[in-house]
Structure 1
Amino acid sequence: MGDVDEDVAVQVRDLDQTVLGNPAHDLVRLGLSLAMAARESDLPGVTTAKMLEEMIVGYQASLLGRPQQPSNGRGPKKPESIRIVLKKALRRTWKDLFEERLEDTTPDIPLGAHFWPLSATEKKVVKELFSSNDVRRLVTLPSVYDGNAGIEVVDAAHWVKGCSSLGRIRIAVLVRVEGPAGSKRKICLVDVKEAATAIAPHYKDARMPRSNAERIVMGAKHLAPALGKRMLAARLYGKAVFLRELLPQDLKFDLKNLCEKEAMKIARYLAVVVGQAHARQLDGSGRASWKRELDRHHTKSLDAPSWLWASVVDLVAIHEVAYLAHCRKCAMVRARQT
């Protein structure tokens, strides 16, 4: 993903459930994503086991500040597929972003299946939100602006993005920013999303913001600084929402169609990213204690904690059952309609 200086970095991006809790939950989430990617790539089950082993190796090394270093010393060595995505991200322009997210390059949001119109009252409320100084500072954060530039809402629409957006606030907003004298006006895309209550378990004595939006932004700043620095907690229609400016450099890595060797490298590298995020939030004794706990649950046959393997297997099974049940339900609905 991109940062405010238009550089790129590989970081965690799905932070709606972020809480102050057991770091094991992040490992289970990553392990599940890797296991499902292995299945979609038609890799054998033994490869999933090897990926989890590589994941723990990378995670533990980064947790103690010793990730594998390339010869230039600039962070952990990146797999070839990761390097390709980063190079692509650096070449992307605002036109690429608009074509990908809006399927259009003009300064309006095309209404249709993915974008639904706002009412006059809703448009007024959105414009009032974007007239605040906090939002203005958010969209004028890049160094080309001085933080005092004027902004104007060009267009806005409800954004239908998967099941998670149904019944919740999700709005795409196009904003025009007045740049310095002689520069072109910038059109940026801001995603406004309702902050849902976290279902992830958290420590009972954890001191977290009462607002779900503030909780998510706080988590982003700790786990993914490149994203957190361009997020803002706010309220819209009386509900907690968070705003994030989308950048052309924001690309989601596709884990499909991997060979076994590359899959194992990616598992290790992504675990390094998670481990570095965790290490930033733990002191030395906390990191050492957590590593000892990970070591304590290794088995003779699997160089990864037994609870990690068991959790991932259980979740894959639950996912498959739920998917097949959904398919059966859809088939029965079609049968009744014909």
Structure 2
Amino acid sequence: MEETYQKERTLPRLPSPDQRRQLLLDRRDEKMARSPHAYVRGNTAQYYEWLQAQPGHSLPEGPPIWICGDCHLGNLGPLAGADGSVEMQIRDFDQSVIGNPAHDLVRLALSLATAARGSSLPGVVTASMLQHMLDGYAFAFLPGELQLALPRPAVVRTALRGAVQRSWKELAEERFLETRPIIPMGRNFWPISREEKKAIAALCASSDLRALVTRLKSRGKKVKLEVIDAAYWVKGCSSLGLLRYAVLLGLGDGEYCLIDIKEAVQATSVRYAHASMPRDNAKRVVAGARHLSPALGERTMPQRFLGRGIFVRELLPQDLKLEIDELSVEDAASTASYLAYVVGCAHARQMDWSTGMHWIKQLQTDRHDGNPIPPWLWNSVLQLIASHETGYLEHCRSYAQRRQAS
């Protein structure tokens, strides 16, 4: 394979590879200061510190399955399978481990409650969302023909419809701001070193990456892969400060694909003590993806890169983050129900019928008509909202002081 990065372009002054880390951490702090919801999304560690501090049996103890580990709203969305199908699934697995499925539910509940507060919805709506969240999750454990009756809320219908209709041109315009075969350097894409370029070229010349790219049915196995351009990708919040690259590959006849390379690090999520998982973090992430979201897992592979574990996937136009800028009173409950159903499907496919039914029964403990939200869930959300509100304000104060000092 021939390395054909674009010739040097006239660029604004951008950070060199050895200047990245502090700038990335500063940007993460800036993003987390924007809103309580952004703070919750970017601060998985605080959630797991809270979990670790809980007394034994304060949460239902579910069967040992692969869980997302960071199951907030931004980590759900439409995903395309290699066969062209598009489904709403979990889309991030950095924190995926074999653990208690209740941890995903509590994390989702915190995210929903924070989104409701950010949308200025009254507390009674938040309570209704948590109730419907449990109902939607349980719905995923019913026989398949009964699941068809679950209606999709407007935000989900819009996201899926937009995903199905998206083309490569739209993906390029969104990611690159232009349709020419080039990754424009700027706020989101930074230059990479010679060493990084060499490692990317070697990765893209491997048989493993060829197999990944040609997995789509529309591509022949002998397609010629050519590295057109590559850049450090300033993306996400929790991943800021880690290795992250965007690689534009040419496939011949004017066809391109976008490869996402991301460093895998030690999970902070809580795993079951005796669970058997890959020790290599990249392999752990890919294993979690394949169990929880097959559409994405089959398009992801683990690799070694510059001495570190990474996972690699091709981004397709249909892969979208579920953007919920504001929840309405009318759609809040149905949105909570359906998103919990998506998480439930990811969990249920790892359990047999009897295990699944026993797990749903555990979740319903102390739940009845007069108390539709079980105490374990309600108390968890109350504690987490309080601790994250405090943490968010402290983060903002500290961030503002640092800015003034600089």
TM-score, structure 2 normalization: 0.77
Counterpart of 2:341 in structure 1 is: 272
Per-residue deviation, residues 86-139 of structure 1 (Å, max 9, x unmatched)? 111111111111222222322111112211111112101110011111111111
In structure 2, stretches of 5+ residues that fail to align are: 1-78
Matches within 5 A, 1:49-128: 49-65=127-143, 69=147, 73=148, 76-128=150-202
In structure 1, the residue corresponding to 2:364 is in which secondary structure?
helix
1:313, distance to aligned residue in structure 2 (A): 2.2
Counterpart of 2:44 in structure 1 is: none
- Provide the C-alpha distance between the structure 2 equivalents of 1:18 and 1:105, rounded to a whole number of angstroms: 34
Q: Which residue of the other structure, out of 315, 319, 322, is the alignment partner of 1:250? A: 319
In structure 1, the residue corresponding to 2:87 is in which secondary structure?
coil
Matched, 1:168 2:280: no
Per-residue deviation, residues 226-249 of structure 1 (Å, max 9, x unmatched)? 111111111101100001111111
- Residue type of the partner of 1:113? R
1:67, distance to aligned residue in structure 2 (A): 7.9
Counterpart of 2:96 in structure 1 is: 18
- Residue type of the partner of 1:252? K
Q: Which residue of the other structure, out of 105, 125, 150, is the alignment partner of 1:47? A: 125
Contact 1:195-1:216 within 8 A present in 2 as well: yes
Counterpart of 1:324 in structure 2 is: 393
CA RMSD in angstroms comes to 1.8
Per-residue deviation, residues 45-72 of structure 1 (Å, max 9, x unmatched)? 1111110100111111212336855xxx
- Provide the C-alpha distance between the structure 2 equivalents of 1:49 and 1:83, rounded to a whole number of angstroms: 24
Q: Which residue of the other structure, out of 82, 85, 95, is the alignment partner of 1:4? A: 82
* Structure-2 change in CA distance of 1:336 and 1:121 (3 Å): closer
Matches within 5 A, 1:138-153: 138-153=212-227
In structure 2, the residue corresponding to 1:193 is in which secondary structure?
strand
Contact 1:156-1:174 within 8 A present in 2 as well: yes
- Provide the C-alpha distance between the structure 2 equivalents of 1:7 and 1:117, rounded to a whole number of angstroms: 35
In structure 2, the residue corresponding to 1:164 is in which secondary structure?
coil
Per-residue deviation, residues 257-298 of structure 1 (Å, max 9, x unmatched)? 222221100111111111111111011221122112112142
In structure 2, the residue corresponding to 1:105 is in which secondary structure?
coil
1:5, distance to aligned residue in structure 2 (A): 2.6
- Provide the C-alpha distance between the structure 1 equivalents of 2:215 and 2:366, rounded to a whole number of angstroms: 45
Q: Which residue of the other structure, out of 346, 362, 365, is the alignment partner of 1:293? A: 362
* Structure-2 change in CA distance of 1:162 and 1:61 (3 Å): closer
1:307, distance to aligned residue in structure 2 (A): 1.4
In structure 2, the residue corresponding to 1:153 is in which secondary structure?
strand
1:170, distance to aligned residue in structure 2 (A): 0.5
- Residue type of the partner of 1:177? L
Counterpart of 1:181 in structure 2 is: none
- Provide the C-alpha distance between the structure 1 equivalents of 2:291 and 2:85, rounded to a whole number of angstroms: 18
In structure 1, the residue corresponding to 2:86 is in which secondary structure?
coil
1:330, distance to aligned residue in structure 2 (A): 2.5
Larger CA deviation: 161-170 vs 90-99: 161-170
- Residue type of the partner of 1:61? F
Counterpart of 2:110 in structure 1 is: 32
1:299, distance to aligned residue in structure 2 (A): 5.8
In structure 1, the residue corresponding to 2:318 is in which secondary structure?
coil
1:315, distance to aligned residue in structure 2 (A): 2.0
- Provide the C-alpha distance between the structure 1 equivalents of 2:269 and 2:162, rounded to a whole number of angstroms: 34
- Provide the C-alpha distance between the structure 1 equivalents of 2:112 and 2:169, rounded to a whole number of angstroms: 31
- Provide the C-alpha distance between the structure 2 equivalents of 1:126 and 1:174, rounded to a whole number of angstroms: 11
Q: Which runs of 4+ in 1 moved over 6 A?
A: none
Contact 2:93-2:288 within 8 A present in 1 as well: yes
Q: Which residue of the other structure, out of 151, 158, 166, is the alignment partner of 2:232? A: 158
Per-residue deviation, residues 119-178 of structure 1 (Å, max 9, x unmatched)? 112101110011111111111211111333221111111111144333311011111123
- Residue type of the partner of 1:22? N
- Residue type of the partner of 2:206? S
In structure 1, stretches of 5+ residues that fail to align are: 179-183
- Provide the C-alpha distance between the structure 2 equivalents of 1:162 and 1:269, rounded to a whole number of angstroms: 24
Matched, 1:315 2:384: yes
Contact 1:209-1:215 within 8 A present in 2 as well: yes
Larger CA deviation: 118-127 vs 76-85: 76-85
Counterpart of 2:17 in structure 1 is: none
Contact 2:155-2:324 within 8 A present in 1 as well: no
Aligned residues: 328
In structure 1, the residue corresponding to 2:92 is in which secondary structure?
coil
Contact 1:20-1:208 within 8 A present in 2 as well: yes
- Residue type of the partner of 2:88? V
In structure 1, the residue corresponding to 2:140 is in which secondary structure?
helix
Matches within 5 A, 1:170-319: 170-178=244-252, 184-298=253-367, 301-319=370-388
Contact 1:6-1:249 within 8 A present in 2 as well: no
Per-residue deviation, residues 21-43 of structure 1 (Å, max 9, x unmatched)? 11101111211121111112111
